[in-house]
Structure 1
Amino acid sequence: MKNLTLGVMTLYNKKTLDDKNYLRKLSIVGKRMNINVVAFSPLDVLGAHNKVNGHVYDIRSERWRRVKINIPPIVFDRSRFKSTPQFKRTSWFRKKYRNVIFLNKPMAHKWKIHELFASSNKLKKHLPHTILYTKKKDFLNMIAAHPILFFKPVNGTGGRGILCIKKDSPNTFIIEGRNHQRKIIPTKRLSTLRLLELLEIYSNRNKYILQQSIDTKLDNGRVHDYRLLIQKNGAGKWEVTGCAGRIGPVGSVTSNLHGGGTASPYESLLSKWITSETKRKDVKEQMEDIAHACVESVEERFGSNCELAIDIAVDENGNVWLLEINPKPGREIFAKIGDKTTYTLALKRPLEYAQWLYDNQHNP
């Protein structure tokens, strides 16, 4: 039987493909599984010939080379959102090549996802109070209910453009966070008027949500949360692959690894935070229940998917909060904590699922 060729659609960052290190490792694992991995951007598609000028990693030479091949029968979409014409071409590709089997389907932005999860009986109790910011009164109403808020772009990734707003006095607020280049901004104390002006500037660039803050500061003052990865296996079934902790750098209101956060083994971090073994067991069960409820809701609304990362906060009382999801997750967090087994499994599972799809749908 002919080996499967799996296309991985990503974007160019200048002249280099995004996530090239991940693509290299995926190619190496794929070769061991007799799956040929071909990476490409929508810009590489030769539409007149239904071919793609893709990138293939040569293990022997440890170099990438270009190959012109037919559009692969199965495509893994790893193109992360960017407000660029190149990203818009991913939609064009999906519409033009409807016969292609996609491992994952496009999803909506943070606010639409929040609305989806808020309609789920299983998930709504785990959601922080969240609203779409449309006018200044939205902020005034939310800060009256919660003394600390997050101001998040609906399409943001990696902590970009996120502000943490703390009420300092009836008419002043302390602002921390990151700019749109992901850099930590200096802490500011602003009047109500100046803050509302700042929120207008940020929201003119992108839609924003306001979200209740969950207190997750460790004794050292750093925030932390948990990244759980759930994936489909080689039988097309959802399984939790692993979970790891993330600790934000000094002065950061977010824990994202790309923003300077550090990874920590899940059990050791949670045991420092929640001393009761019984409560820790309950937290783990809740996390896994949330993960399965998330993928159930996502597939019901958007169609079949292959993996989802879920960011979860746990407060000091052991309450579990669903912060957000990432449909194009990395898996380096498991390598950073030295969990080679989980890291390898996280690499293999999309390939195993692709093979299962190919065997069961492409060759019924």
Structure 2
Amino acid sequence: MRKSKIGLQLTPSTVLPEDAIMLGESVIRAKKIPRSGPVILKFGAYRQHVKIIPSPKINGMRMSGALAARMGIYAGHPSRVGLCLQYDADTSTLALGPLIGVLVSRDYPDSPEKPFGSITMFCRELVEACKAQGAYVFFFTPDLIGDSVGGTEGWVYTGIWQRVWLPAPDVINNRLTSRRLENRPNVKQFIAETKHAYGTSIFNEKFLDKTEVFDALQSNNDLRRYLPESHQLRNISTMKSMCSRYSSVFLKPVRGSLGKGIIRISRLSADGYQAMHATSAGYRKQTYPTLGKLYASLASKMKTSRYQIQQGLQLIEIGKRPVDFRALAQKNAAGKWTITSIVARTAGEQHFVSNLARGGTLSPVGVAVAKANIGKNSQDAALRLRQAALHIAQGVDESIPAHFGELGIDLALDTNGKVWLLEVNSKPSKNDNTPLNEGKIRPSVRMMIQYSRHLAGF
């Protein structure tokens, strides 16, 4: 069925009854919508029988504002929105949408200008992208989910942010930033029941553990070459074995993010080992005469967090600051993985992790590689990074039983030009690919809407 956007105009109930919609003759012909008999009007989980009133004077759709409000559609001023429309003759269903719900961690009702804090501008960007593509988006939090599987309270933008009741969406983009929120019973129940009752699709439905990713990819012969040796740190014998093979190793919290809790362990030229702990201000060094003493110092951390121990790599550097790369892999309008962006991230002064939250800076891949100590292997580095990211995204999708629509893939180049996988993030920050500017819709945001349309069949 051809995908198209039509104009939807809201009128007073005195002009149009709440059980009828007016459709332009051109729309009726193009979509082969019957003129007689009621049809089922569908918007997300909302369903209602309505009569069709043909009109030669309009080329879109009109409905009463009261009917639109029951559907969760608020147009603001002027009172017009654009939505995709399709008709299924087998079920006599006229579907508008897609209706996209973005699940975010928290809202701030007392700050009407910035109800989502620092991500409000990103939410506005999503609103504008949906307008352009004929989708309708709302934002909701775990605290707004009630007892009804048919809908939830959520925020819409109509010139101002307002909180309204909306039907369960066609697609949910899970942007929760903590496992605690993701595992709340009301969140898990809402997602499970909307899937079952309404066929709602949810993508990026779970966090990824580092060991889960590496274990899954290890069984793929084509992807194994990107993996530094990694193990879950269960005992001191694993640490001794790794430190005997590599001059440095990294300990990473299995469920960590933003570089928090990473420890680099290095053999000293004299007897002993050095542990460098990543902190918000840089790093903290401690030396130990034996690995046993070092391992004992981690006992309290390991009681509360599981750690992955990973082979240390000799990364390319710019001015003695390590460089890595963040690729954003997304599914496109055809449901296929593609690489939307890839950027270099250079660690800040006095840091050995490159996250922006730790003072890292972004630059184009070509610029970073040209400045780094990689020599003759720099020529096709950007292409090899892109190919690796694409293959890894496909591998994660095939190996891990969950639905992902976008993945942040952290890669590295060593001084010989070899590509390595550092980490896969199922909740990638949009600030780590391209700068967010007022009024500009980035490719990554447009791609998310295109994939949502694909999932919803629009």
Q: Same fold (TM over 0.5)?
A: yes
Secondary structure at 1:289's aligned position in 2?
A: helix
Q: Does 1:172 align with 2:272?
A: yes
Q: TM-score, normalised by structure 1?
A: 0.88
Q: 1:137 Cα deviation (Å)?
A: 1.7
Residue pair 2:105, 2:181 contacting (<8 A) in 1 also? no
Residues 172/274 of structure 1: CA separation in 2 closer, same or farther (3 Å cut): closer
Structure 1: tracts of 5 or more residues without a match: none
Cα 1:337/1:92, change in 2 over 3 Å:
closer
- Report the counterpart of residue 210 of structure 2 in structure 1: 110
The 10-residue stretch of structure 1 (241-250 or 74-83) with the greater mean CA deviation from structure 2:
74-83
Question: Equivalent of 2:420, from 309, 321, 339?
Answer: 321
How far apart, CA to CA, are the structure 2 residues paired with 1:82 and 1:163? 22
- Out of 358, 368, 387, the position equivalent to 1:269 is 368
Q: Distance in 2 between matches of 1:130 and 1:74?
A: 36
1:280 alignment counterpart:
378
1:33 to 133, 140, 146: 133
Query: CA 1:170–1:57 in structure 2 vs 1: closer, same or farther (change >3 Å)?
Result: farther
Structure 1 position 307 matched with structure 2 position 401: no
CA distance in 1, matches of 2:425, 2:375: 30
Deviations 1:26-69 (A, max 9, x none): 122222222221111122112236321112233x34xx221111
Tell whether 2:103 aligns with 1:9.
yes
Which of residues 316, 320, 332 in structure 2 aligns to 1:221? 320
Show the counterpart of 1:73.
170
CA distance in 1, matches of 2:141, 2:216: 30
Higher CA-based Rg: 2
Looking at structure 2, the residues matched to 79 and 10 of structure 1 have their Cα atoms a distance apart, in angstroms, of: 5
Q: 1:335 aligns with which of 434, 438, 442?
A: 434
Contact 2:343 2:364 in 1 (8 A): yes
**Cα offset for 1:355?**
1.0
Deviation, 1:163, is 0.7
**Which of 225, 229, 232 does residue 125 from structure 1 map onto?**
225
| Conservation of the 8 A alpha-carbon contact between 1:122 and 1:290 | no
Q: 1:274, 1:185 → 2: CA distance?
A: 24
Match of 1:205 among 304, 310, 317: 304
Aligned partners of 1:263 and 1:337 also within 8 Å: no
Question: 5+ unaligned residues in a row in structure 2: which ranges?
Answer: 1-84, 86-95, 110-114
Distance in 1 of aligned mates of 2:124 and 2:204: 20
For 2:179, the equivalent position in structure 1 comes to 82
> Matched residue of 2:349: which SS?
coil
Amino acid at match of 1:5: L
Change (3 A) 1:170 1:288: same
Q: Distance in 2 between matches of 1:273 and 1:250?
A: 16
Question: How far does residue 86 in structure 1 lie from its aligned partner after superposition?
Answer: 6.3
Q: Which letter does structure 1 place at the counterpart of 2:339? A: V
Shift in CA distance, 13/152, structure 1 to aligned 2, threshold 3 Å: farther
1:351 paired with 2:445, answer no
Corresponding residue number in structure 1 for 2:23: none
Q: Give the secondary structure class of the aligned counterpart of 2:434.
A: helix
Change (3 A) 1:296 1:335: closer
Q: 1:346: how far off?
A: 0.9
Pairing partner for 2:347 from 238, 241, 248 = 248
8 Å Cα contact 1:263/1:336 also seen in 2: no
Verify: 1:134 aligned to 2:228, yes or no.
no
**1:352 to partner: Cα distance:** 0.8
- Say whether residues 1:258 and 2:341 are aligned partners: no
Identical-residue share of aligned pairs (%): 24
- Which residue number in structure 1 is paired with residue 17 of structure 2? none
Encode CA deviations 1:266-325: one digit per residue, 9 max, x unaligned: 110012226656x33433333233222222222223244211111010011111101111
Query: Is residue 2:124 matched to residue 1:24?
Result: yes
Q: Report the 3-state secondary structure (helix = DSSP H, G, I; strand = E; otherwise coil) of the residue aligned with 2:298.
A: helix
- 1:145 offset after TM fit, Å? 0.9
Q: Is the aligned partner of 1:144 residue 2:256?
A: no
Give the deviation of 1:120 after TM superposition: 0.9
| 8 Å CA contact retained: 2:374, 2:417 | no
SS of structure 2 residue aligned to 1:223? strand
Contact preservation (8 Å) 1:11, 1:87? no
TM-score normalised by L of structure 2:
0.71
Q: In the alignment, which residue of structure 1 is the partner of 2:285?
A: 187
Contact kept? 1:106, 1:302, Cα under 8 Å: no
Q: Deviations over 1:194-225 (max 9, x none)?
A: 42122222211111010111122525221110
Q: 1:135 to 1:76 in 2, by over 3 A?
A: same
Distance 1:85 1:229 in 2: 22
Separation in 1, partners of 2:354, 2:232: 23
Q: 1:293 aligns with which of 391, 403, 428?
A: 391
Work out whether residues 81 and 155 of structure 1, in 8 Å CA contact, stay in contact via their aligned partners in 2: no
CA distance in 2, matches of 1:316, 1:337: 32
Judging changes above 3 Å, is the alpha-carbon distance between structure 1 residues 120 and 233 closer, same or farther for their aligned structure 2 residues? Answer: same
Structure 1's 276 and 89: CA in aligned 2 closer, same or farther, altered over 3 A?
Answer: farther
Judged with a 3 Å threshold, the aligned counterparts in structure 2 of structure 1 residues 185 and 315 are, in CA distance, closer, same or farther, namely closer
CA separation of 1:311 and 1:85: change in aligned 2, threshold 3 A: closer
CA contact (8 A) 2:149 2:194 kept: no
Q: Alignment RMSD, CA only?
A: 2.6
